[in-house]
A = this chain, B = another copy of it.
Amino acid sequence: VHEAAAPVDLTSLKRIKRELVAPPFVHEHEQIAPGGPRIVEFEMKIIEKEIEVDRGAYLQGMTFDGSIPGPMMVVHEGDYVELTLINPPENMLQHNIDFHAATGALGGGALTLVNPGEKTVLRFKATRPGTFVYHCAPGGPMIPWHVASGMAGTIMVLPREGLSDHNGDPVKYDRVYYIGENEFYIPKDENGDYIRYEDVGESYPDTLEVMNGLIPSHVVFNGKVGALTGENAMKAKQGEKVLFVHSQANRDTRPHLIGGHGDLVWEAGKFNNVPDRDLETWFIRGGSAGAALYEFLQPGVYAYVNHNLIEAVNLGATAHVVVEGEWNNDLMEQVVAPTEYSGA
Protein backbone atom coordinates (compact mmCIF):
# COMPACT_ATOMS: atom_id res chain seq x y z
CA VAL A 1 0.00 0.00 0.00
CA HIS A 2 2.96 2.32 0.42
CA GLU A 3 4.73 1.70 -2.88
CA ALA A 4 4.27 5.29 -4.02
CA ALA A 5 6.11 6.62 -0.97
CA ALA A 6 8.68 9.29 -1.74
CA PRO A 7 12.22 7.96 -1.43
CA VAL A 8 14.52 9.45 1.16
CA ASP A 9 18.25 9.95 0.70
CA LEU A 10 20.27 9.34 3.84
CA THR A 11 23.57 8.57 2.11
CA SER A 12 25.20 11.67 3.56
CA LEU A 13 24.69 10.46 7.13
CA LYS A 14 27.39 8.71 9.10
CA ARG A 15 26.72 5.14 10.15
CA ILE A 16 27.71 3.52 13.42
CA LYS A 17 27.25 -0.11 14.39
CA ARG A 18 26.47 -0.90 18.04
CA GLU A 19 27.05 -4.30 19.58
CA LEU A 20 24.20 -5.07 21.92
CA VAL A 21 24.93 -6.47 25.36
CA ALA A 22 22.76 -8.43 27.75
CA PRO A 23 20.83 -6.50 30.44
CA PRO A 24 21.22 -5.07 33.01
CA PHE A 25 24.20 -3.73 31.08
CA VAL A 26 23.95 -1.28 28.22
CA HIS A 27 26.19 -0.94 25.17
CA GLU A 28 28.82 1.77 25.01
CA HIS A 29 27.37 5.16 24.11
CA GLU A 30 27.89 8.92 24.44
CA GLN A 31 25.47 10.86 26.65
CA ILE A 32 25.90 13.98 24.54
CA ALA A 33 25.69 13.40 20.80
CA PRO A 34 29.15 13.88 19.26
CA GLY A 35 27.85 15.53 16.07
CA GLY A 36 24.92 15.44 13.70
CA PRO A 37 22.36 12.67 13.34
CA ARG A 38 23.66 9.22 12.44
CA ILE A 39 22.25 5.94 11.30
CA VAL A 40 22.76 3.57 14.20
CA GLU A 41 22.87 -0.09 13.22
CA PHE A 42 21.74 -2.92 15.48
CA GLU A 43 21.26 -6.62 14.90
CA MET A 44 19.09 -8.94 16.95
CA LYS A 45 18.49 -12.65 16.64
CA ILE A 46 15.24 -14.08 17.97
CA ILE A 47 15.83 -17.15 20.10
CA GLU A 48 13.14 -19.49 21.38
CA LYS A 49 14.36 -21.50 24.34
CA GLU A 50 13.31 -23.09 27.57
CA ILE A 51 14.34 -21.09 30.65
CA GLU A 52 14.20 -22.14 34.30
CA VAL A 53 12.71 -18.93 35.72
CA ASP A 54 12.63 -20.24 39.28
CA ARG A 55 13.66 -23.52 40.80
CA GLY A 56 11.53 -26.13 39.05
CA ALA A 57 9.54 -23.59 37.03
CA TYR A 58 10.27 -23.77 33.32
CA LEU A 59 9.19 -21.16 30.81
CA GLN A 60 8.97 -21.86 27.11
CA GLY A 61 10.69 -18.55 26.53
CA MET A 62 10.94 -16.35 23.46
CA THR A 63 13.73 -13.78 23.40
CA PHE A 64 15.31 -10.98 21.46
CA ASP A 65 19.02 -11.86 21.26
CA GLY A 66 18.79 -14.55 23.91
CA SER A 67 17.99 -12.40 26.93
CA ILE A 68 14.84 -11.46 28.82
CA PRO A 69 14.39 -8.53 28.49
CA GLY A 70 15.92 -7.94 25.08
CA PRO A 71 19.02 -5.72 25.05
CA MET A 72 18.69 -1.98 25.54
CA MET A 73 19.52 0.21 22.56
CA VAL A 74 20.71 3.80 22.93
CA VAL A 75 20.57 6.50 20.26
CA HIS A 76 20.06 10.25 20.19
CA GLU A 77 17.03 12.24 19.14
CA GLY A 78 17.18 12.71 15.39
CA ASP A 79 19.24 9.57 14.79
CA TYR A 80 17.96 6.78 12.58
CA VAL A 81 17.69 3.29 14.04
CA GLU A 82 18.45 0.53 11.55
CA LEU A 83 17.72 -2.92 12.88
CA THR A 84 18.47 -6.24 11.26
CA LEU A 85 16.04 -8.71 12.77
CA ILE A 86 16.78 -12.40 12.33
CA ASN A 87 14.44 -15.34 12.93
CA PRO A 88 16.76 -18.36 12.68
CA PRO A 89 15.53 -21.56 11.05
CA GLU A 90 15.59 -23.50 14.32
CA ASN A 91 12.70 -21.42 15.73
CA MET A 92 9.08 -22.61 15.48
CA LEU A 93 7.19 -19.32 15.30
CA GLN A 94 6.74 -16.14 13.31
CA HIS A 95 7.89 -12.99 15.10
CA ASN A 96 8.31 -9.25 14.49
CA ILE A 97 9.13 -6.05 16.34
CA ASP A 98 6.98 -3.07 17.35
CA PHE A 99 8.99 -0.06 18.52
CA HIS A 100 7.00 2.35 20.69
CA ALA A 101 9.61 4.95 19.72
CA ALA A 102 8.72 4.68 16.03
CA THR A 103 5.98 6.27 13.95
CA GLY A 104 3.66 4.30 11.67
CA ALA A 105 3.14 0.70 10.51
CA LEU A 106 2.28 -0.56 13.99
CA GLY A 107 5.65 0.70 15.22
CA GLY A 108 7.33 -1.35 12.52
CA GLY A 109 5.43 -4.51 13.37
CA ALA A 110 3.66 -4.47 10.02
CA LEU A 111 6.99 -4.37 8.17
CA THR A 112 9.02 -6.93 10.12
CA LEU A 113 7.05 -10.18 10.28
CA VAL A 114 9.70 -12.86 9.83
CA ASN A 115 9.16 -16.59 9.62
CA PRO A 116 11.75 -19.03 10.89
CA GLY A 117 14.64 -18.83 8.41
CA GLU A 118 14.00 -15.21 7.47
CA LYS A 119 15.54 -11.85 8.28
CA THR A 120 14.48 -8.25 7.60
CA VAL A 121 15.84 -4.73 8.00
CA LEU A 122 13.79 -1.86 9.39
CA ARG A 123 14.83 1.75 9.69
CA PHE A 124 13.03 4.43 11.68
CA LYS A 125 13.80 7.92 12.86
CA ALA A 126 14.00 8.48 16.60
CA THR A 127 12.09 11.72 16.84
CA ARG A 128 11.11 11.78 20.49
CA PRO A 129 13.56 11.65 23.41
CA GLY A 130 12.85 9.10 26.12
CA THR A 131 12.85 5.47 27.10
CA PHE A 132 10.47 3.36 25.02
CA VAL A 133 9.50 -0.28 25.01
CA TYR A 134 9.92 -2.49 21.96
CA HIS A 135 8.23 -5.87 21.76
CA CYS A 136 7.07 -8.64 19.49
CA ALA A 137 3.52 -8.23 18.20
CA PRO A 138 2.85 -10.81 15.51
CA GLY A 139 -0.93 -10.38 15.55
CA GLY A 140 -3.98 -11.55 17.47
CA PRO A 141 -3.49 -13.71 20.55
CA MET A 142 0.14 -14.21 19.57
CA ILE A 143 0.78 -10.65 20.80
CA PRO A 144 0.20 -11.06 24.53
CA TRP A 145 1.64 -14.57 24.43
CA HIS A 146 4.95 -13.53 22.87
CA VAL A 147 5.29 -10.58 25.22
CA ALA A 148 4.44 -12.71 28.24
CA SER A 149 7.02 -15.21 27.02
CA GLY A 150 9.77 -12.60 27.19
CA MET A 151 9.88 -10.73 23.89
CA ALA A 152 10.29 -7.13 24.98
CA GLY A 153 13.09 -4.66 25.54
CA THR A 154 13.80 -0.94 25.59
CA ILE A 155 15.37 1.74 23.45
CA MET A 156 16.59 4.94 25.07
CA VAL A 157 16.54 8.00 22.84
CA LEU A 158 18.71 10.61 24.54
CA PRO A 159 18.32 14.31 23.86
CA ARG A 160 21.29 15.33 21.68
CA GLU A 161 22.58 17.52 24.53
CA GLY A 162 22.01 14.74 27.09
CA LEU A 163 19.62 14.70 30.01
CA SER A 164 18.54 17.79 31.93
CA ASP A 165 17.09 18.19 35.40
CA HIS A 166 13.95 19.93 36.71
CA ASN A 167 15.62 23.31 36.18
CA GLY A 168 16.73 22.48 32.65
CA ASP A 169 20.34 22.15 33.78
CA PRO A 170 22.40 19.33 32.30
CA VAL A 171 22.79 16.15 34.28
CA LYS A 172 24.98 13.13 33.57
CA TYR A 173 24.86 9.59 34.85
CA ASP A 174 27.90 7.64 35.95
CA ARG A 175 26.29 4.29 35.28
CA VAL A 176 23.13 3.04 33.65
CA TYR A 177 21.34 -0.22 34.40
CA TYR A 178 18.43 -1.67 32.51
CA ILE A 179 15.87 -3.64 34.47
CA GLY A 180 13.20 -5.35 32.40
CA GLU A 181 10.31 -6.66 34.43
CA ASN A 182 8.22 -9.54 33.14
CA GLU A 183 5.34 -11.44 34.53
CA PHE A 184 4.95 -15.08 33.60
CA TYR A 185 1.89 -17.28 33.60
CA ILE A 186 3.22 -20.79 34.07
CA PRO A 187 0.47 -23.41 34.36
CA LYS A 188 0.24 -25.83 37.26
CA ASP A 189 -1.02 -29.39 37.30
CA GLU A 190 -3.73 -30.68 39.62
CA ASN A 191 -1.13 -31.16 42.39
CA GLY A 192 -0.10 -27.54 42.18
CA ASP A 193 3.24 -28.32 40.50
CA TYR A 194 4.42 -26.31 37.55
CA ILE A 195 3.99 -28.13 34.27
CA ARG A 196 7.04 -28.50 32.04
CA TYR A 197 6.29 -28.58 28.31
CA GLU A 198 8.05 -30.22 25.40
CA ASP A 199 8.07 -27.10 23.30
CA VAL A 200 6.61 -23.65 22.97
CA GLY A 201 3.66 -24.84 20.93
CA GLU A 202 2.65 -27.43 23.48
CA SER A 203 2.71 -24.80 26.22
CA TYR A 204 0.25 -22.46 24.53
CA PRO A 205 -3.25 -23.69 25.42
CA ASP A 206 -2.61 -23.99 29.15
CA THR A 207 -0.62 -20.77 29.23
CA LEU A 208 -3.42 -18.91 27.48
CA GLU A 209 -5.85 -20.01 30.13
CA VAL A 210 -3.62 -18.77 32.94
CA MET A 211 -2.91 -15.51 31.11
CA ASN A 212 -6.58 -14.77 30.65
CA GLY A 213 -7.05 -15.02 34.42
CA LEU A 214 -4.63 -12.07 34.70
CA ILE A 215 -2.80 -13.43 37.76
CA PRO A 216 0.84 -14.27 37.04
CA SER A 217 2.74 -17.12 38.62
CA HIS A 218 5.99 -15.14 38.55
CA VAL A 219 6.97 -11.48 38.43
CA VAL A 220 10.67 -11.16 37.78
CA PHE A 221 13.43 -8.80 36.78
CA ASN A 222 15.65 -9.79 33.88
CA GLY A 223 14.02 -13.07 33.16
CA LYS A 224 14.26 -15.14 36.29
CA VAL A 225 14.18 -15.07 40.05
CA GLY A 226 17.58 -13.95 41.28
CA ALA A 227 18.83 -12.64 37.93
CA LEU A 228 20.03 -9.47 39.67
CA THR A 229 20.86 -10.62 43.18
CA GLY A 230 23.89 -12.24 44.83
CA GLU A 231 26.71 -12.58 42.31
CA ASN A 232 24.54 -10.88 39.72
CA ALA A 233 23.80 -7.81 41.83
CA MET A 234 24.24 -4.41 40.26
CA LYS A 235 27.17 -2.37 41.57
CA ALA A 236 27.78 1.30 42.30
CA LYS A 237 29.93 3.60 44.39
CA GLN A 238 28.86 6.24 46.88
CA GLY A 239 28.59 9.56 45.06
CA GLU A 240 27.81 8.00 41.72
CA LYS A 241 24.68 8.89 39.84
CA VAL A 242 23.00 5.78 38.50
CA LEU A 243 20.27 5.81 35.89
CA PHE A 244 17.84 2.93 36.32
CA VAL A 245 15.76 2.28 33.22
CA HIS A 246 12.79 0.05 34.02
CA SER A 247 10.41 -1.46 31.49
CA GLN A 248 7.29 -3.55 31.75
CA ALA A 249 5.74 -4.33 28.39
CA ASN A 250 2.42 -5.64 29.65
CA ARG A 251 1.54 -4.97 33.27
CA ASP A 252 1.84 -2.03 35.63
CA THR A 253 4.65 -1.95 38.16
CA ARG A 254 6.06 0.37 40.79
CA PRO A 255 9.85 0.35 41.28
CA HIS A 256 11.34 1.32 44.63
CA LEU A 257 14.92 1.40 45.88
CA ILE A 258 14.91 0.39 49.56
CA GLY A 259 16.93 2.97 51.45
CA GLY A 260 17.25 5.17 48.36
CA HIS A 261 15.08 7.44 46.21
CA GLY A 262 14.52 8.72 42.75
CA ASP A 263 16.32 12.08 42.66
CA LEU A 264 15.02 12.74 39.16
CA VAL A 265 12.34 10.48 37.78
CA TRP A 266 10.89 10.44 34.30
CA GLU A 267 8.06 8.16 35.32
CA ALA A 268 6.58 7.89 31.85
CA GLY A 269 10.13 7.88 30.48
CA LYS A 270 9.94 10.86 28.13
CA PHE A 271 12.75 13.40 28.43
CA ASN A 272 10.86 16.43 27.10
CA ASN A 273 8.96 16.42 30.38
CA VAL A 274 10.14 17.87 33.68
CA PRO A 275 11.37 15.02 35.90
CA ASP A 276 9.80 14.45 39.31
CA ARG A 277 12.00 14.76 42.37
CA ASP A 278 12.49 12.79 45.58
CA LEU A 279 10.18 9.91 44.72
CA GLU A 280 9.93 6.94 47.08
CA THR A 281 8.22 4.77 44.45
CA TRP A 282 7.51 5.40 40.81
CA PHE A 283 4.95 3.94 38.49
CA ILE A 284 5.60 2.20 35.19
CA ARG A 285 2.48 1.96 33.10
CA GLY A 286 2.16 -1.50 31.54
CA GLY A 287 3.58 -1.07 28.05
CA SER A 288 6.16 1.57 28.84
CA ALA A 289 9.64 2.22 30.13
CA GLY A 290 10.63 4.84 32.70
CA ALA A 291 13.89 6.21 34.03
CA ALA A 292 15.06 7.21 37.50
CA LEU A 293 18.36 8.84 38.42
CA TYR A 294 19.78 8.37 41.89
CA GLU A 295 23.00 9.51 43.51
CA PHE A 296 23.98 6.93 46.12
CA LEU A 297 24.72 8.63 49.42
CA GLN A 298 25.31 5.62 51.66
CA PRO A 299 27.15 2.32 51.20
CA GLY A 300 25.45 -1.03 51.61
CA VAL A 301 23.29 -3.55 49.83
CA TYR A 302 20.18 -1.93 48.46
CA ALA A 303 17.16 -3.90 47.36
CA TYR A 304 15.49 -2.61 44.22
CA VAL A 305 11.95 -3.94 44.10
CA ASN A 306 8.52 -3.78 42.57
CA HIS A 307 6.86 -2.37 45.70
CA ASN A 308 3.95 -4.72 45.57
CA LEU A 309 5.91 -6.63 48.15
CA ILE A 310 4.15 -9.90 47.39
CA GLU A 311 5.34 -9.60 43.81
CA ALA A 312 8.78 -8.50 44.98
CA VAL A 313 9.46 -11.18 47.55
CA ASN A 314 7.17 -14.10 46.85
CA LEU A 315 6.83 -13.89 43.08
CA GLY A 316 10.38 -12.76 42.32
CA ALA A 317 10.64 -9.02 41.52
CA THR A 318 13.72 -8.18 43.59
CA ALA A 319 17.18 -6.99 42.53
CA HIS A 320 20.17 -5.86 44.57
CA VAL A 321 22.59 -2.96 44.23
CA VAL A 322 25.88 -3.27 46.12
CA VAL A 323 27.29 0.15 46.91
CA GLU A 324 30.82 0.82 48.21
CA GLY A 325 31.60 3.82 50.38
CA GLU A 326 31.64 5.20 53.89
CA TRP A 327 28.67 5.33 56.16
CA ASN A 328 27.30 8.82 56.87
CA ASN A 329 26.02 9.06 60.43
CA ASP A 330 24.42 12.41 59.75
CA LEU A 331 21.96 10.82 57.37
CA MET A 332 21.28 7.84 59.64
CA GLU A 333 22.59 6.41 62.87
CA GLN A 334 21.70 3.45 64.99
CA VAL A 335 21.59 5.44 68.24
CA VAL A 336 20.81 2.43 70.41
CA ALA A 337 21.28 -1.07 69.03
CA PRO A 338 18.54 -3.58 69.81
CA THR A 339 18.69 -4.16 73.54
CA GLU A 340 16.57 -5.74 76.23
CA TYR A 341 13.18 -4.20 76.95
CA SER A 342 11.46 -5.36 80.09
CA GLY A 343 7.98 -3.83 79.89
CA ALA A 344 6.37 -0.40 79.70
Q: Which residues of B contact A119 (CB under 8 A)?
A: 336, 338-341
**Minimum C-beta distance from A249 to chain B (A):** 8
Chain A interface size range: 35 or more
Q: Which residues of B contact A239 (CB under 8 A)?
A: none
Q: Is there contact, CB below 8 Å, between A314 and B211? A: yes
Q: Which residues of B contact A289 (CB under 8 A)?
A: 280
Q: Is there contact, CB below 8 Å, between A314 and B107? A: no
Q: Is there contact, CB below 8 Å, between A100 and B281? A: yes
Whether a CB of chain B sits under 8 angstroms from the CB of A256 is: yes
Instruction: Identify 24 residue pairs between A and B in the complex whose beta-carbon atoms are under 8 Å apart, listed by A's number.
Output: A82-B335, A100-B280, A100-B281, A102-B332, A103-B260, A103-B261, A103-B328, A103-B331, A105-B259, A105-B332, A106-B259, A111-B332, A124-B333, A125-B332, A129-B278, A141-B313, A144-B313, A214-B215, A250-B310, A252-B252, A254-B286, A254-B288, A273-B278, A287-B307
Near B by CB (< 8 A), chain A positions 269-302 give 269-270, 272-273, 276-283, 285-289, 297-300, 302
Q: Which residues of B contact A326 (CB under 8 A)?
A: 4-6
- Out of B5, B212, B258, B312, name the residue touching A107 (CB < 8 Å): B258
Near B by CB (< 8 A), chain A positions 71-86 give 82, 84, 86
- Specify the chain B residue showing the minimal Cβ separation from A111: B334
Q: Which residues of B contact A332 (CB under 8 A)?
A: 102-105, 108, 111, 122-125
Instruction: Give the oligomeric copy count.
Output: 3
**Minimum C-beta distance from A66 to chain B (A):** 12
Q: Is there contact, CB below 8 Å, between B89 and A341? A: yes
**Distance, CA A335 to CA B137, complexed state (A):** 19
Near B by CB (< 8 A), chain A positions 193-228 give 208, 211-215
- Out of B106, B122, B308, name the residue touching A250 (CB < 8 Å): B308
**Minimum C-beta distance from A238 to chain B (A):** 10
Q: Is there contact, CB below 8 Å, between A128 and B287? A: no
